[in-house]
Structure 1
Amino acid sequence: MESLYAPRNPAPLYATPRNPQRETRGGQVAKVMKAMGNTPMPWQRDALNVACEIDPRTGGFWYDTVIIIVLRRAGKTTISRGKLTHRALTTQDARMIYTAQNRLKALKRLKDDYYLPLHRSPLDMFLTKPRWRGGEEAVRFINGAELAIDAVKRESGHGDANDEAHIDEAYVHRDSMLEGGLQPTLMTIVGSQMWVLSAAGDTSSAYLKDKVDLGRALIDAGVESRTCYIEYSAPVDSDPNDVETLLGCHPAIGYTIEAERVMNLRVNTTDKTEWERAWLGWWPAAKGPPKLIPELAWKKNFVPTDDESWQGTPFWAIDVSPERDFASIALAAKPMDVKANAYVEVFDRLDGTQNVVAELKRLREVLGGSHVAIDGNGSAVSLKQDLEDEGFEVITVTGPKRVAACGDFYDKALVGSLRFPDDSLLNDAMACTVKRIIADKAFVFARGRELKDISPMYAVALARWLYIEKREDAYDVDETLG
């Protein structure tokens, strides 16, 4: 029986926008897919056009990480196969790795979903004899390129440099162990990419949840990064029993699957939560709100505590909690890493305010710097005169400047362009920080009697704002990306 529902080609709920200023190889990958008998669906063409944008400086792919969260039976295997095959056909001696839930699943996919479709297509002329020897399985190409599988274990991916790595069915991974093994092998190859593909996960899908939190945060913030994020899912306030909800989020309806069959599965299942995960992209209810900055993004800013991480004259900030029970002192300075926007560090969090000025005076004697930022609407205002009496130049940050300090710190931390130590004081403060919306998307860090102390977060945000305002060697970090 013919389906009642024609393709809707719904837009993704979250998506990195296409940058028309950059060329793309998306059309080439689409041709490879078509040659293997899989005419790309509109969502696949759109995703490839973004994911395959080219860095005009290097000629390699712009995005080093591509995260695609899409619903069941939407065609993530065919888009992965097309991308890996394009890499093999266009890159002499390319090394590629594919992983799935486990080694047996990966091997089955390598044979059934990668090798056989290639072998049966006109692209067979570019293949040579595959290697099926246990532990060394690989699809091989006449130009020396190889697509191998890897086991899901701590040493996964270690060894030779790789041009591309695809982590399929990422929802099964409980931690980032696999990625930790793969990422270093991609670092020395210009234009290398890691793809993470999956349907939505469940309460055990810690690795994928971190990726989703990061991707959504990047899209919401509107900041450019080297991560491409595309997610097809239904708004959580939609009616799961209404076929319109399915049609409005599943990009393969009318192409490879029928809406009637999917809705019939819902009627006949006792596990509605699993159906909603698979077909609407809904995660089980979270136990609490996500962190202000996803952990994966936050950790990209870490520097070893024993490294020389900053130089020049520091800029200081003091922040005092509303109840005046804590006071934090932070520094911002020019980072040693030329690709970073600023170096920040929390030097101390003191009980009360009695010794704050004396402590900052001691730090100045050791490290230098006489500029100090304070929140002009906060409790630290009471220290202004004492600081000035000690020769500090005090800058009060209020109104739009406070909004900029919070927003700019958030944006730079989100894309990993700040540098700071792995410090429990700052980490804990970030975990407790939430946004208070001022207007539209503008916000400040919320605080009040019912909230935990976040003075370390405010201190580093204000210090960084002051450094950006007063530094003499101003530069745009975005020009150094890549």
Structure 2
Amino acid sequence: MLDTAPRNPPPLYGTKRNYSRGTRGGQVGKIMKAMGNTPMPWQQEALDVACEIDSRTGDYWYDTVIIVVLRRAGKTTISRGKLTHRALLTQDARMIYTAQNRLKALKRLKDDYYLPLKRSPLEMFLNKPRWRGGEEALRFINGAELAIDAVKRESGHGDANHEAHIDEAYVHRDSMLEDGVQPTMITIMGSQMWILSAAGDTTSTYLRDKVDIGRALIEAEVESRTCYIEYSAPTDADPEDPETLLGTHPALGYTIPADRVMSQRANTTDKTGWERAWLGWWPAAKGPPKLIPEGAWKKNFVSTDEGPWTGVPFWSIDVSPERDYASIAMAGRPVDSKANAYVEVFDRLEGTRNVVSEMRMLRDELGGKFVAIDGSGSALSLVQELENEGFEVIKVSGANRVAACGDFYDKALVGDLRFPDDPLLNDSMGNAVKRIVADKAFVFARGRELKDITAMYAATFARWLYIEKREEVYGADQTIL
């Protein structure tokens, strides 16, 4: 007989609780309980992380919360509790809720948000709702409002918003909705964007990008302002084994019985659909994921129109193993004080014949004498000629190459670098893969198609050189952390 006792399995990917920070997760849990939904363990654990407080400001630490969970796990009740908490504690709060489309969002607003509040002790805090077409909103006596929004290009435009929940995110094909909402939240300290969904399919490009970013952040153990929680089964687990389901779905034994879910598998011909709903498995990807998820990579883009860097440039040259390509890049102090470094690829040449003369022209125009090269790479043949031209060549050792790759990856993943939207660097990043050299340490390597990645390495080494030498050039009081 199938053991249906609650298991409370951990998420496959999950941002860990930072116990040095306080949390308002318990407060949200009490509000959920007041509405008749005592939080399941997974919900309370997720809230405790997502609602951590920045001790310096007293606001929420995370500005983005992504929860990818299985069907019927209770994402609606957790969303309702969080939005109600925001409404009750923030006078005149403005909140947005979206679903697959406006009709779905309106039905959810009435059935899953308004009615549970109306039937609970929290009714005393409700004002009369507004149901006029196009202006629907729940209203609270302190002036807070929870409105729905359509999925369109101008979504979210208008008043500043304290919180936005994008529910059923798997239906979106692009970031149009988020792009419309995010600017309305930027001036509100402690605002949060919540993205909630079950796993998607091959058309769920918006959510897939969020999943790739979230998984990469967890695997890299990089602290960021994104909280990511995903419940899914390991892809090598046996879907026919009930233990796989019991070890994956956090609501089994609380709100849904495991035996019914397993009987559905036995009675359906759509095994892929069942696995997506109950195990969180996406259909097989058409190609390997990029080294750095596209959404994370784009957060580093900056316009070159207004001078994105200043000071003295630090140069780098990388030459492909076959010596058919050579890329030149620089790094400098970013104008954006929140960024770690500015990097730019200046050129990719065929062969190495004109590399030094190109470097000489760049130095004459922009300055800078330090040049980094791979200490065991093909660019070693250029050292003597570079030194004859007055450059100081820094050879990147094997250990430093590992550090340079890992640190570039970590900073790009959380949007701490600045570089132009350059097809040359973009393509080079897309051609690169990780090659593990020790435990979690890695270097960049060419993928199976063996396409050129010299631009990626040149940018990586230039940034490493900037970090190593910036204090020597700028002085200790002029460096950034």
Q: Secondary structure at the match of 1:464?
A: helix
1:284-332: CA deviation from partner (whole Å, max 9, x where unpaired): 0011111111111000000012121001111000000111111000000
Greater mean deviation of Cα atoms: 251-260 or 303-312: 303-312
1:24 matched residue in structure 2:
23
1:366 matched residue in structure 2:
365
* Letter paired with 1:420: F
Q: Superposed, which structure 2 residues align to 1:313-324 within 5 Å?
A: 313-324=312-323
Q: Superposed, which structure 2 residues align to 1:172-183 within 5 Å?
A: 172-183=171-182
1:229 positional shift: 0.2
- 1:475, 1:161 → 2: CA distance? 37
Q: Does the C-alpha gap of structure 1 residues 392 and 285 become closer, same or farther in structure 2, counting only changes over 3 Å?
A: same
Q: Superposed, which structure 2 residues align to 1:209-224 within 5 Å?
A: 209-224=208-223
Q: Is the 8 A contact 1:468 1:474 kept in 2?
A: no
- 1:25, 1:66 → 2: CA distance? 14
1:248 matched residue in structure 2:
247
1:437 matched residue in structure 2:
436
1:5 positional shift: 1.3
1:4 positional shift: 3.5
1:465 positional shift: 0.3
1:39-60: CA deviation from partner (whole Å, max 9, x where unpaired): 0000001100000001112111
Q: Superposed, which structure 2 residues align to 1:203-352 within 5 Å?
A: 203-352=202-351
1:394 matched residue in structure 2:
393
* Letter paired with 1:205: S
- 2:347, 2:403 → 1: CA distance? 24
Structure 2 unaligned residues grouped into runs of 5+: none
Q: Secondary structure at the match of 1:302?
A: coil
Q: Is the 8 A contact 1:3 1:254 kept in 2?
A: no
- 1:270, 1:186 → 2: CA distance? 44
Q: Secondary structure at the match of 2:446?
A: coil
Q: Does the C-alpha gap of structure 1 residues 474 and 33 become closer, same or farther in structure 2, counting only changes over 3 Å?
A: farther
Q: Is the 8 A contact 2:405 2:460 kept in 1?
A: yes
* Letter paired with 1:31: K
- 1:322, 1:115 → 2: CA distance? 64
What TM-score does the superposition give when structure 2 sets the normalisation length? Answer: 0.98
* Letter paired with 1:171: Y
1:120 matched residue in structure 2:
119
1:112-132: CA deviation from partner (whole Å, max 9, x where unpaired): 000000000000000010000
The percent identity for this pair of structures is: 79
Q: Is the 8 A contact 1:303 1:309 kept in 2?
A: yes
- 1:335, 1:369 → 2: CA distance? 16
- 2:266, 2:69 → 1: CA distance? 22
Q: Does the C-alpha gap of structure 1 residues 297 and 380 become closer, same or farther in structure 2, counting only changes over 3 Å?
A: same
- 2:387, 2:234 → 1: CA distance? 53
Q: Superposed, which structure 2 residues align to 1:374-453 within 5 Å?
A: 374-447=373-446, 451-453=450-452
1:70-98: CA deviation from partner (whole Å, max 9, x where unpaired): 00000000000000000000000000000
Q: Is the 8 A contact 2:51 2:62 kept in 1?
A: yes
Aligned length: 478
- 2:478, 2:407 → 1: CA distance? 13
1:157 matched residue in structure 2:
156
Q: Is the 8 A contact 2:432 2:447 kept in 1?
A: no
Q: Superposed, which structure 2 residues align to 1:14-53 within 5 Å?
A: 14-53=13-52
Q: Does the C-alpha gap of structure 1 residues 407 and 193 become closer, same or farther in structure 2, counting only changes over 3 Å?
A: same
2:88 matched residue in structure 1:
89
Q: Is the 8 A contact 1:322 1:448 kept in 2?
A: no
Q: Secondary structure at the match of 1:128?
A: coil
1:399 positional shift: 1.4
Q: Secondary structure at the match of 1:256?
A: coil
Q: Secondary structure at the match of 1:434?
A: strand
Q: Is the 8 A contact 2:369 2:391 kept in 1?
A: yes
* 1:102 and 2:101 aligned: yes
1:456 matched residue in structure 2:
455
- 1:449, 1:71 → 2: CA distance? 34
Q: Is the 8 A contact 1:371 1:394 kept in 2?
A: yes
Q: Secondary structure at the match of 1:181?
A: helix
1:436 positional shift: 0.4
Q: Is the 8 A contact 1:3 1:258 kept in 2?
A: no
1:208 positional shift: 0.2
Greater mean deviation of Cα atoms: 302-311 or 131-140: 302-311
Q: Is the 8 A contact 2:470 2:479 kept in 1?
A: no
1:3 positional shift: 7.3
1:360 positional shift: 0.4
1:12-43: CA deviation from partner (whole Å, max 9, x where unpaired): 00001111111100000000000000000000
- 2:76, 2:477 → 1: CA distance? 42
Q: Is the 8 A contact 1:340 1:477 kept in 2?
A: no
Q: Secondary structure at the match of 1:471?
A: helix
1:248-296: CA deviation from partner (whole Å, max 9, x where unpaired): 1100000000000000110111100000000000000011111111111
1:447 positional shift: 3.1
- 2:297, 2:355 → 1: CA distance? 28
- 2:2, 2:119 → 1: CA distance? 30
1:466 matched residue in structure 2:
465
* Letter paired with 1:271: D
Q: Secondary structure at the match of 1:297?
A: helix
- 1:476, 1:291 → 2: CA distance? 35
* Letter paired with 2:424: L
1:449 positional shift: 9.0
- 2:114, 2:347 → 1: CA distance? 58
Q: Superposed, which structure 2 residues align to 1:161-200 within 5 Å?
A: 161-200=160-199
Q: Is the 8 A contact 2:375 2:396 kept in 1?
A: yes
Q: Secondary structure at the match of 1:421?
A: coil
- 2:480, 2:80 → 1: CA distance? 32
What TM-score does the superposition give when structure 1 sets the normalisation length? Answer: 0.97
1:363-385: CA deviation from partner (whole Å, max 9, x where unpaired): 00110000000001111011011
